[in-house]
Amino acid sequence: MESSGRESAFFLGALVVLSGGAAALSLSTAPPVAVQQLHIGAGATVGVGSLVIHANEVKATAGAGSAPRSSALSIVDVYQGPDRWAETARNGQGQIGQLVVIGNQSWQRTLPGRWVELPSSDTIPSKGEAASQQNFALAALAQNAESVTRHGVTSSAVYSFELSPAALIETFGGTPPPGFSYSLSALIDGPYMTGQQLSASNGSASERIMLKYSQLGTAPPVTAPTPGTR
């Protein structure tokens, strides 16, 4: 994947005699406006109360003298605020795992297996709240973005910004592999952020994470499964 290098500007006004001044004004005012629009859209999505997140992760490696290798993972998360999550994950081999988290209780199964209740805990934040922090990590980066470029001038626009290794460490922990460049984009549709994409590349390896936020405020309920059932 390549980091976004595109630039955009708002062109204000339609009169030819004012076009030069309008373009100059748009260049000076677009960055703070774009930042505000991104922050508002991301915050609206995180605060909606219930939603579904479709996530797809694709990794690719081009080894010297060998065929390219790739792997894929798809995840569907159903969120019911403040601390209920139901997750279904499928890897490239077709294996499917499921996890339900409600407060400090959680259950899991790998299909076609049965549901198993995991040991509960009294941790703070709860398991459900910790899952919220993790699943909304990319949304938090959008909420806190400082240098933003807007692509498009309609109600459905893409906002892109670069990520530093320090920002990744603060968000996800650990140490990013050296030599990688990172970029993040978000789709704002109306009042909400409805999609995000994180791209990372070092020339020979790349990773892309694509998120789609849907059923904003209308996600199905998350209920506890019965242990031992399929």
User: DSSP letter string over 182-201?
Assistant: EEEEEEEETTEEEEEEEEEE
pLDDT for 214 equals: 98
Q: Is 139 helix (H, G, I), strand (E, B) or coil?
A: helix
Q: Which two tokens stand for residue 146?
A: 């400082």
Residue pLDDT, tens place only, 2-40: 333 333 332 223 222 333 333 333 334 444 789 999 999
**CA dihedral sign, ordered 131, 133, 136, 141:** negative
Q: In what order do the strands lie in the sheet with 156-163?
A: 116-117, 105-110, 96-102, 84-91, 69-80, 50-61, 205-214, 192-201, 181-189, 156-163, 149-151
State the DSSP code for 93: T
Q: Which two tokens stand for residue 23?
A: 């373009």
pLDDT for 166 equals: 76
Angle at 189 between CA 7 and CA 57, to 5 degrees: 75
Q: φ, ψ for residue 30 (rounded to 5)?
A: -60, -45
Dist. CA 31–CA 125, nearest whole Å: 35
Partners of residue 78 on adjacent β-strands: 52, 86
Residues of the chain with pLDDT under 50: 1-31
pLDDT for 63 equals: 60
pLDDT for 200 equals: 87
pLDDT for 15 equals: 26
Q: Which two tokens stand for residue 30?
A: 């677009």
Which of 5, 4, 9 lies closest to 34 in space, CA to CA?
Answer: 9
pLDDT for 174 equals: 72
**What CATH number does the domain located at 16-214 have?**
2.50.20
Residues in the chain: 230
Other beta carbons within 10 Å of 15: 8
Residue 61: half-sphere exposure toward Cβ, Cα within 13 Å: 7
Q: Which two tokens stand for residue 188?
A: 């704002």
pLDDT for 66 equals: 58
pLDDT for 47 equals: 95
Q: Is 86 helix (H, G, I), strand (E, B) or coil?
A: strand
pLDDT for 2 equals: 39
Residue 105 contacts by C-beta under 8 Å, 6 or more apart in sequence?
117, 118, 120, 127, 224
Dist. CA 103–CA 219, nearest whole Å: 18
